[in-house]
C-alpha cells in the first residue's frame, strides 16, 4: 500500500494519504533548537537537549499526540477541522490534504468546506525558535468568517522526565500570562526578583512563548485543561468548539499557549500569518514576533528560501543519475539527509529516543561521521577532532561521551564516578577501532594528509597527534587480548548484545583490528615511521594467521570465543551458527582469501538473506544461549536476535561490491531500501524515506516490519556501501579510484562530485553489461592506464569517462 511519493525535483516526500501506518516524521532545526514534526503535526521541540531543554510536550508511545496544532472553525456553521488531518480527523472523503516533508521544513495543505490552508513548519537558519507560517484562503463563493487557533502544549519543566512523572513538583512552578500577541509561559516565575545570573537551588526563571504575527489575536488561553475541556481531547477542544478562548492563564495546572484570530475572508481572499514558538525572554519574544508582524509572507518566504538553499547546497556536493529511481532518491536526498540528521542528533531525539541518554555513543558517532564525509568533509573533520578528544590516553574510546565533554579532564571507565554517571561499567572492544576507517575516509576525501599531525587532547589527560591517537588505539587492542591472542570481546563489540568478556574473543573486532593495521601502515608510510611499519607488519601477519587458524570454519567465519573458550557461530551449533558481520568484515578488512570470500558471501546469501535484507544471525537464540548472549532477551527475529539489523546491510553491500558482485550488492540495497518499499507501507510501517534500526526477521510473525526510525547507524553504513561500493568512488591520499559494482542491466550512470576544490562530471558507460570491471578511463579526454585518477589530473571542471566493459 502506498501513502505518498517522492518529488525528487523539490527533494520532498509527499504524503497524499494522512492515515499512515505510523507517524511519518521530519526533522527541523539544528543543535541549538531541535524540532520533530509528523505528517499529522505531532511532535516536540527542544533547546539543545531533548531531555533537558524540552519546550513542547509529546507523549511517547501514545498515538502521536500532542503536536503543533492549528484549528480552523467556520463561525457560521460552527464546524471545525485542523490544518493537519489529525487531531480533528475529518472524514477523508471530504477532507483533502497533502503533507510535504522537505529538507528541514514541512508543508501541509488542506482543503475542507471551501477553505484552503497551507502551513509551513520550520526553524529559520541559525535561529533558535520555530515558525508555523500559515495561509488561509477562501475558495468558496461567499464571504466566510473563520477562526484560526494555534495550540502549543508547553512542558511544565524543561526536563522531560520531571514533566512527565514528577507532577507533585513540576505543576506548581509554572504559569502563563498574555502579552499583547503572545502567551508567555514562565517556569519558576517566583524567582523573578533574582538579579541576572543569580540562582536558587540552581534554578532561575525560564520563559517560553507562543506568539501570533500578521493578524490580531482575538482571544487566548494559557491552560491546557481549560482549552481542551475535561472529557474532551485534542480532536474536540472546547476552546475551539466555543469559538472563543477563555482569556485566562495557568497557575498550578498544565501550561499551554492557545491563540485565536478571527479572519473575515471575501471569496478568493487569503490571509497570511505566523505562529512563533520558542524559549526566549519576554523582550526577545516580543522582538521575534514583531519581525513577522508587518511583512509576514515575505519574511517567511525569504527564510524558507534560505533554508532550502542551505540544505540543497549541502546535498549538491554529490549527486547521481542512475537507472534506479529508488537509488537516486536515497543517495541524492533522503539517505544523505538521514546521514546529516544522525550526524547532528546522534541517538538523542526521535519518536523512539526521548533524549535521556546524556551523551554520544563512541562507536555510533564515529560511524555516523562516515555518512557525511563525501558531502561536508570539514564538518566531518570537526566531529572527528571531537571524538579523538574523547579517546582515553590508554587508546580506548569513552563508551559514552557526555554532552558536557571536557577534553583532558574527563574521568574514564576506570573511575567509579564515570561508571556511576554514564552507566557504562567498562571499555568496549571496538570503539576506538572505528576511528581508522573514519579518519582514512576524511583524509582521502580531502587529500589533507597533514591532518594526522594535528595535536588533539586525550579525554583524561595529555595530548598527541592524530597519528599518535591512532597508534594508541592499536596499543589498546594489543593490551586487551584474549586467551588465544585475538582481541578480547570486553563489555561488547559492535553488537551490544554479545558479552564475550575480557578473556573471550571477537572475530569482528579481530577483523576490524586487522583492517586498522592496514590503514595505519599507510599513515606510517606518510610519516616515514619505518620501525612502526615493521611492527605493524609483524603484528598484522600474526593476527591474520590466528584468525585464519581459529575463525575459519569450512565455509564461514565464526563469531568468536566465550571466556570459557566455547566457540560461537560454528556450523554445528544448534542456534546462531551463521553470523552476518564476520563474513562481510572478512572481505572489507582484506583478510579473507578470494575463495573464503566467495564461500562466506554465498553462505550469507543462502542462509541469511530474505526479501527484506540479510538477518544478523540464524537461527535465533532461544534454548542454547550462552551467558553473554544477551540477544536472547529479545523475541526471535527481533533486533540482535535474528532481526534484519539494517546497519549490517551497509557492510554486506560494501563487501559484495568489493568482490565485484554488482548484482548482489545492488540486490541487498534494494531489499532494505526505504524508497524501494514505498508501496509496501503497510508491511514496513516506517517512513519510506528514512532508515530504521532493524526490520523484523523471518522468525517474527511480523516479518518485514521496521522499527526505530531516523537515528540509526544504518544511514551511514548504507551510504558508504553505496558510494564506495556500488558507485565505486574510492579516494585515497593521492587521488580517486573509480571501481563501480552495478547491476548488469545498467547501461551506465553519472555522478556529479565535488572533490578537493574541483568539480567532477563522471560518466560510467557499460555497453557490455558487466557488473564490474575496467576497460578504459579518460580524464578531460586523456586516456589513463587504469581506473585511478591521480590528483594532478584534476581541473576545476573535470570530465571523466569510464568504460566498465
Ligand atoms: O552497535 C550497536 C549500537 O552502538 C547501538 N545500537 C545497537 C548496535 C548493535 O548492537
665-680 mean pLDDT: 98
Cis peptide preceding 619, ω within 30 of 0: yes
For residue 154, the 8-state DSSP code is: B
Residue 442 Cβ inside 6 Å of ligand 1? The answer reads no
For all residues of the chain together, what is the average pLDDT? 97
Q: CB under 8 Å to 80, separation ≥6 — which residues?
A: 71, 72, 73, 74, 88, 147, 240, 241
| Nearest atom (ligand 1) to Cα of 364 | 4
User: Does residue 197 surpass a pLDDT of 80?
Assistant: no
3-state helix, strand, coil in the chain (%, to 5): 30, 30, 40
DSSP H/E element including 265: strand 255-265
User: Does residue 553 surpass a pLDDT of 90?
Assistant: yes
463-477 mean pLDDT: 98
Q: For the stretch 424-450, what's the b/e string if a residue is b when 16 or more beta carbons lie within 10 angstroms of its beta carbon?
A: bebbbbbbbbbbbbbbbbbbbbbbbee
565-587 mean pLDDT: 97
Query: E-strand spans in 283-333?
Result: 318-321
Is residue 618 among the annotated active site residues? no
pLDDT band, residue 202 (cuts 50/70/90): confident
Ligand 1: residue whose CA is nearest its atom 4 = 364
Q: CB under 8 Å to 254, separation ≥6 — which residues?
A: 153, 156, 171, 174, 223, 224, 225
Show the CA angle centred on residue 13, arms to residues 148 and 728, nearest 5°.
Answer: 155
pLDDT digit string, tens, across residues 679-733: 999 999 999 999 999 999 999 999 999 999 999 999 999 999 999 999 999 999 9
Query: E-strand spans in 3-95?
Result: 4-7, 12-15, 25-30, 33-38, 43-47, 69-74, 80-82
pLDDT digit string, tens, across residues 55-71: 999 999 999 999 999 99
pLDDT digit string, tens, across residues 396-455: 999 999 989 999 999 999 999 999 999 999 999 999 999 999 999 999 999 999 999 999
Q: How far, in Å, from the CA of 477 to the mean position of ligand 1?
A: 20
User: Does residue 246 surpass a pLDDT of 80?
Assistant: yes
pLDDT at 414: 95
Give the Å distances, CA to CA, from 471 to 436, 467, 510, 529, 538.
Answer: 10, 6, 16, 12, 15
Is residue 269 packed enough to be buried (19+ CB in 10 Å), middle (13-18) or exposed (0-12)?
Answer: middle
Q: Are strands 797-803 and 758-765 parallel, antiparallel or unpaired?
A: parallel
**Residues 357 and 347: beta-carbon distance below 8 Å:** yes
The residue whose grid cell reads 491546557 is 224
User: Does residue 275 surpass a pLDDT of 80?
Assistant: yes
In three state form, how does the secondary structure of 391-441 look?
ECCCCCECCEEECCCCCCCCCCCCCHHHHHHHCCCCCECCHHHHHHHHHHH
Q: How far, in Å, from the CA of 337 to the mean position of ligand 1?
A: 21
pLDDT digit string, tens, across residues 81-139: 999 999 999 999 999 999 999 999 999 999 999 999 999 999 999 999 999 999 999 99
Distance of alpha carbon 724 from alpha carbon 728, whole angstroms: 5
Residue 418 Cβ inside 6 Å of ligand 1? The answer reads no
- Predicted TM-score of the model (pTM): 0.98
Write down the catalytic residue from 30, 496, 573, 732.
496
Cis peptide preceding 286, ω within 30 of 0: no
Q: How far, in Å, from the CA of 65 to the mean position of ligand 1?
A: 28
Distance of alpha carbon 417 from alpha carbon 66, whole angstroms: 38
Q: Please choose, from the candidates 497, 459, 455, 456, the residue with its C-alpha nearest in 3D space to the C-alpha of residue 476.
A: 459
Q: How far, in Å, from the CA of 711 to the mean position of ligand 1?
A: 11
Distance of alpha carbon 508 from alpha carbon 494, whole angstroms: 8
| Best residue for ligand 1 mutational test, from 342, 360, 364 (most atoms within 8 Å of Cβ) | 364
Distance of alpha carbon 447 from alpha carbon 452, whole angstroms: 11
Ligand 1: residue whose CA is nearest its atom 6 = 496
pLDDT digit string, tens, across residues 145-183: 999 999 999 999 999 999 999 999 999 999 999 999 999
pLDDT at 588: 98
Amino acid at each position: 500500500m502506498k501513502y505518498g511519493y517522492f518529488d525528487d525535483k523539490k527533494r520532498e516526500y509527499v504524503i497524499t494519504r494522512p492515515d499512515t501506518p505510523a507517524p511519518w516524521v521530519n526533522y527541523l532545526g539544528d543543535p541549538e533548537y531541535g524540532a520533530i514534526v509528523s505528517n499529522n503535526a505531532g511532535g516536540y521541540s527542544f533547546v539543545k537537549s531533548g531531555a533537558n531543554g524540552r519546550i513542547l510536550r509529546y507523549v511517547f508511545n501514545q498515538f502521536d499526540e500532542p503536536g503543533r496544532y492549528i484549528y480552523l472553525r467556520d463561525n457560521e456553521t460552527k464546524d471545525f477541522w485542523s490544518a493537519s488531518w489529525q487531531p480533528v480527523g475529518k472524514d477523508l472523503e471530504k477532507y483533502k490534504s497533502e503533507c510535504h516533508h522537505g529538507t528541514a521544513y514541512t508543508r501541509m495543505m488542506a482543503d475542507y468546506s471551501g477553505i484552503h490552508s497551507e502551513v509551513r513548519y520550520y526553524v529559520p537558519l541559525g535561529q533558535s525558535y520555530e515558525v508555523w507560517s500559515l495561509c488561509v484562503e477562501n475558495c468558496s463563493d461567499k464571504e466566510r468568517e473563520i477562526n484560526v487557533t494555534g495550540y502549543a502544549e508547553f512542558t511544565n519543566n524543561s526536563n522531560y522526565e520531571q514533566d512527565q512523572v514528577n507532577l507533585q513538583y513540576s505543576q506548581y512552578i509554572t504559569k502563563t500570562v498574555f502579552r499583547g500577541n503572545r502567551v508567555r509561559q514562565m517556569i519558576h516565575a517566583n524567582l523573578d526578583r533574582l538579579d541576572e545570573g543569580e540562582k536558587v537551588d540552581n534554578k532561575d526563571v525560564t520563559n517560553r512563548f507562543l506568539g501570533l504575527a500578521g493578524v490580531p489575536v482575538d482571544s487566548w488561553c494559557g491552560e491546557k485543561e481549560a482549552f481542551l475541556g475535561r472529557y474532551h481531547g485534542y480532536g474536540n477542544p472546547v476552546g475551539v468548539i466555543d469559538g472563543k478562548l477563555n482569556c485566562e492563564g495557568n497557575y498550578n495546572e498544565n501550561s499551554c499557549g492557545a491563540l485565536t484570530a478571527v479572519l473575515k475572508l471575501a471569496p478568493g481572499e487569503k490571509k497570511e500569518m505566523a505562529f512563533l514558538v520558542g524559549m526566549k525572554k519576554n523582550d526577545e519574544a516580543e522582538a521575534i514576533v514583531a519581525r513577522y508582524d508587518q511583512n509576514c509572507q515575505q519574511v517567511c518566504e525569504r527564510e524558507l528560501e534560505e533554508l532550502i538553499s542551505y540544505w540543497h547546497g549541502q546535498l549538491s556536493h554529490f549527486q547521481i543519475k542512475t537507472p534506479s529511481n529508488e537509488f537516486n532518491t536515497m543517495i541524492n536526498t533522503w539517505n544523505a539527509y538521514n546521514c546529516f540528521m544522525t550526524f547532528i542528533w546522534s541517538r538523542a531525539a526521535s519518536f523512539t529516543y526521548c533524549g535521556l541518554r546524556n551523551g554520544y555513543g563512541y562507536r555510533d558517532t564515529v560511524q555516523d561521521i562516515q555518512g557525511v564525509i563525501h558531502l561536508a568533509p570539514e564538518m566531518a573533520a570537526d566531529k572527528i577532532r571531537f571524538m579523538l578528544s574523547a579517546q582515553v590516553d590508554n587508546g580506548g574510546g569513552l563508551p559514552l561521551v557526555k554532552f558536557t565533554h571536557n577534553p583532558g579532564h574527563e574521568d574514564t571507565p576506570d573511575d567509579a564516578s564515570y561508571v556511576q554517571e554514564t552507566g557504562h561499567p567498562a571499555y568496549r572492544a571496538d570503539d576506538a577501532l572505528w576511528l581508522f576507517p573514519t579518519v582514512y575516509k576524511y583524509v582521502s576525501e580531502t587529500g589533507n594528509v597533514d591532518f594526522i599531525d594535528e595535536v588533539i587532547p586525550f579525554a583524561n589527560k595529555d595530548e598527541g597527534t592524530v597519528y599518535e591517537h591512532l597508534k594508541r588505539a592499536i596499543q589498546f587492542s594489543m593490551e586487551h587480548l584474549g586467551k588465544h591472542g585475538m582481541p578480547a570481546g570486553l563489555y561488547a563489540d559492535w553488537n551490544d548484545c554479545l558479552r564475550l568478556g575480557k578473556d573471550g574473543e571477537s572475530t569482528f573486532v579481530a577483523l576490524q583490528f586487522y583492517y586498522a593495521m592496514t590503514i595505519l601502515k599507510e599513515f606510517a608510510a606518510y610519516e616515514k615511521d619505518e620501525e612502526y611499519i615493521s611492527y605493524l607488519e609483524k603484528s598484522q601477519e600474526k593476527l591474520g594467521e590466528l584468525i585464519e587458524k581459529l575463525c575459519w570454519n569450512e565455509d564461514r567465519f565464526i563469531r568468536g570465543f566465550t571466556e570459557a573458550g566455547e566457540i560461537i557461530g560454528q556450523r554445528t551449533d544448534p542456534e546462531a551458527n551463521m553470523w552476518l558481520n564476520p563474513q562481510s568484515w572478512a572481505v572489507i578488512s582484506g583478510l579473507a582469501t578470494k575463495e573464503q570470500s566467495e564461500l562466506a558471501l554465498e553462505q550469507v546469501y543462502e542462509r541469511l538473506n530474505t526479501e527484506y535484507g540479510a538477518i544478523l544471525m540464524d537461527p535465533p537464540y532461544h534454548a542454547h544461549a550462552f551467558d553473554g548472549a544477551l540477544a536472547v532477551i529479545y523475541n526471535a527475529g527481533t533486533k540482535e536476535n535474528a532481526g534484519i539489523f539494517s546497519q549490517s546491510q551497509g557492510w554486506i553491500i560494501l563487501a559484495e561490491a568489493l568482490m565485484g558482485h554488482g548484482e548482489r550488492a545492488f540486490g541487498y540495497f534494494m531489499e532494505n531500501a526505504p524508497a524501494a518499499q514505498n508501496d509496501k507501507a503497510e508491511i514496513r510501517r516506517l517512513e519510506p524515506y528514512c532508515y530504521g534500526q532493524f526490520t523484523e526477521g523471518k522468525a517474527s510473525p511480523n516479518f518485514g516490519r521496521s522499527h526505530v526510525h531516523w537515528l540509526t547507524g544504518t544511514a551511514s553504513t548504507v551510504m558508504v556501501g553505496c558510494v564506495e561500493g556500488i558507485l565505486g568512488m574510492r579516494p585515497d591520499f593521492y587521488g580517486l579510484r573509480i571501481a563501480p559494482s552495478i547491476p548488469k542491466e545498467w547501461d551506465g550512470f553519472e555522478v556529479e562530485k565535488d572533490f578537493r576544490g574541483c568539480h567532477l562530471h563522471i560518466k560510467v558507460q557499460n555497453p557490455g553489461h558487466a557488473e564490474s570491471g575496467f576497460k578504459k578511463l579518460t580524464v578531460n579526454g586523456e586516456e589513463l592506464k587504469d581506473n585511478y585518477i591521480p590528483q594532478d589530473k584534476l581541473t576545476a571542471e573535470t570530465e571523466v569517462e569510464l568504460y566498465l566493459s
